[in-house]
Amino acid sequence: MILVKDNRCDFCGTCVAVCPVDAIELREADISIIHDTCIDCDLCIWVCPIDVLTSDKPVEVENV
Amino acid sequence: MSDYDVIVVGGGPAGSMAAEAAAKGGAKTLLLEKDRDIGYPVRCGEGVGARALRQFMNPDPGMIAATISKVRMRSPDNTCVDFGQEDAGYILHRRIFDVALANRASKAGAEIETRAYVDGLLMEDDAVTGVKYQYMGQHRSLTSKIVIAADGVESRVGRMAGLRTSTKLKDMESGYQVTVGNIDVDQEMIDFYVGDNWAPGGYLWIFPKGDGMANIGLGILGIYSRYNSAHDRTHSFIKKYFPKATILASVCGGIPIGKTLKKITAHGLMLTGDAAHMVNPVTGGGIITGMQGGQIAGEVAALAIQKGNVSEKGLEDYPNRWHRTEGKTHEAFYRISQTIDTITDEQLNKIAHRLVKTPSSELSLLKIFTTVAREKPKMLLDVTRAFAGV
């Protein structure tokens, strides 16, 4: 699940632009992830210029 | 009977130019802006070519923060390639500039409403016939013959109509910028840092903002952003080179640097500006291309309404004209950007060492690109194409 870190978003819309399934709602100063639509691809986490998005997915460690 | 002939979504330069052109063409036009203010927040480096801008206006001194006559490009080993160019460009006050453009649209007869957040489209079969939006908590809808989506990088209006407007990660620059005070930079010079040190897949810029101020920002490809964000990189840079700088403003945003979308029209719908991916893929500049795209969209919209055909076919002059005028240059720049991405820091240093031996009176952006093309010969044809169109 993609999570928005509290009170850090600048509402620039970069995440909205790369979201392949249009699962991010953004207004003047309000962002929300539509979890039913989200496919957890993490693209939004990759592009966020100020590192506001995060995932609760466990980090995959190879060859443990 | 529709409420409006044309509804423009988004009050940036592309939207305002579209609204002005549509209204001048006799269309009853409404522009909707989601934020409280036209022109704020500013999500832009604010640099613009002087000649390019004058195609559209004689800029009022109040909207110009600095007039640029010198360019510096630094290679990864900090070799400075300097060249002068009279009348090269301006650093704008976008806050003032955007309001002036919207005001021009209103003088041409367009209506404007802010705080209007478009959250859906009215559709009849496959045709777009208006917008749904929220204003101060009220849900409203308005019908129109054509919707022009100038809603920026997010480009959601196009998606609502079923167009594929999302930007691929490889075509998205993750950007961050601070406006700083208390720094001593040449107020006539723009300064670029290229290479992987600061901005892999993009560049870092210092644009003077007048009176000891500057915009310092960078764009990096999305693939480099996750573990060292544009924000963190920008602040590391400032800490290193301008530790006494004060932060007056900060802003972040995405810059779509891919090709213009294949499909920028549908029945009753036109996409323009960043929403149509019209940004110059090499420079990341989108003000001028957005204005050009918006103006063409508005003109074509007004004509299509006069002719009574707003189908995709009826709007085909828009993609055709875009392609004939800006599109070809844009595509050449896109191919150049793809080649630039393959240049290593070592090659950049080598190119810079070669260029500093050239007398600066002979240096120009074209000369720089042709020198780069010596490292990457396949770029040469596109460089010629791109600059023939400039």
Domains annotated for chain A, with CATH where assigned, are 2-53 (3.30.70.20)
Does B213 score more than 90 pLDDT? yes
Cα B303 from Cα B300, distance rounded (Å) = 5
Q: At what angle do helices B328-340 and B380-388 cross, to 10 degrees?
A: 140
Does B10 score more than 90 pLDDT? yes
User: Could you read off the pLDDT of B127-162 as tens digits, one per residue?
Assistant: 999 999 999 989 999 999 999 999 999 999 999 999
Does B362 score more than 50 pLDDT? yes
Chain B environment of A22 (Cβ under 8 Å): 156, 159, 166
Q: Say which CATH architecture domain B4-42+95-167+259-315 belongs to.
A: 3-Layer(bba) Sandwich (3.50)
Chain A environment of B174 (Cβ under 8 Å): 14, 47-49
Tell the residue number behind the tokens 């004058």, with chain if given. Answer: B54
* Nearest neighbour of A13 by CB, restricted to B117, B153, B232: B153
* pLDDT band per the 50, 70, 90 thresholds, residue A61: low
The pLDDT value recorded for residue B267 is 98
User: Could you read off the pLDDT of B279-332 as tens digits, one per residue?
Assistant: 999 999 999 999 999 999 999 999 999 999 999 999 999 999 999 988 888 999
Q: Does the distance separating the beta carbons of A27 and B117 come in below 8 Å?
A: yes
Tokens read off for B300: 């074509």
Mean pLDDT of B252-281: 97
Mean pLDDT of B381-389: 76
- What is the reported pTM? 0.95
Lowest-confidence pick of B217-226, B231-240, B305-314: B217-226
Q: Does the distance separating the beta carbons of A28 and B117 come in below 8 Å?
A: yes
Does B70 score more than 50 pLDDT? yes
Cis peptide bond N-terminal to B41, omega within 30: yes
The pLDDT value recorded for residue B390 is 46
Lowest-confidence pick of B161-170, B229-238, B376-385: B376-385
What residues does each domain of chain B span?
4-42+95-167+259-315, 66-90+173-256, 337-388
E strand segments, chain A: 2-4, 24-27, 30-33, 53-55
Selected for mutation to probe chain A from B225, B250, B257 (highest A CB count within 10 Å) is B225
Among the listed residues A13, A23, A54, A38, the one whose alpha carbon sits nearest the alpha carbon of residue B172: A13
- Whether B225 and chain A come into contact, CB under 8 Å, resolves to yes
Lowest-confidence pick of A35-49, B261-275, B317-331: B317-331
Residue percentage of chain B with pLDDT more than 70: 99
- The interface predicted TM-score (ipTM) is 0.90
How far off is chain A from B284, nearest CA to CA, in Å? 14
The pLDDT value recorded for residue B244 is 97
* pLDDT band per the 50, 70, 90 thresholds, residue B364: confident
Among the listed residues B120, B156, B140, B7, the one whose alpha carbon sits nearest the alpha carbon of residue A26: B156
- Which H/E stretch holds residue B158? helix B156-160
Q: Does the distance separating the beta carbons of A49 and B230 come in below 8 Å?
A: yes
Q: Does the distance separating the beta carbons of B254 and A18 come in below 8 Å?
A: yes
Q: Does the distance separating the beta carbons of A26 and B254 come in below 8 Å?
A: no
The pLDDT value recorded for residue B151 is 97
How far off is chain A from B251, nearest CA to CA, in Å? 8
Mean pLDDT of B1-16: 97
What average pLDDT is seen over chain B? 94
* Nearest neighbour of A12 by CB, restricted to B117, B156, B252: B252
Chain A environment of B225 (Cβ under 8 Å): 46-49
Nearest CA in chain B to A51: B229
Q: Does the distance separating the beta carbons of A49 and B174 come in below 8 Å?
A: yes
Q: At what angle do helices B365-375 and B345-356 cross, to 10 degrees?
A: 130
User: Could you read off the pLDDT of B24-60 as tens digits, one per residue?
Assistant: 999 999 999 999 999 999 999 999 999 999 999 999 9
Cβ count within 10 A of residue A31? 18
The pLDDT value recorded for residue A64 is 42
The pLDDT value recorded for residue B87 is 83
Residue percentage of chain B with pLDDT more than 90: 85
What average pLDDT is seen over chain A? 89
Alpha helices in B277-327 (DSSP H): 287-307, 317-322
Cα-based distances in Å from B316 to B86, B257, B311, B313: 39, 24, 9, 5
Does B389 score more than 70 pLDDT? no
Q: Which CATH superfamily is domain B66-90+173-256 in?
A: D-Amino Acid Oxidase, subunit A, domain 2 (3.30.9.10)
Cα B12 from Cα B296, distance rounded (Å) = 15
The pLDDT value recorded for residue B85 is 80
The residue among B14 and A56 whose pLDDT is bigger is B14
Residue percentage of chain A with pLDDT more than 70: 89
Lowest-confidence pick of A51-60, B13-22, B213-222: A51-60
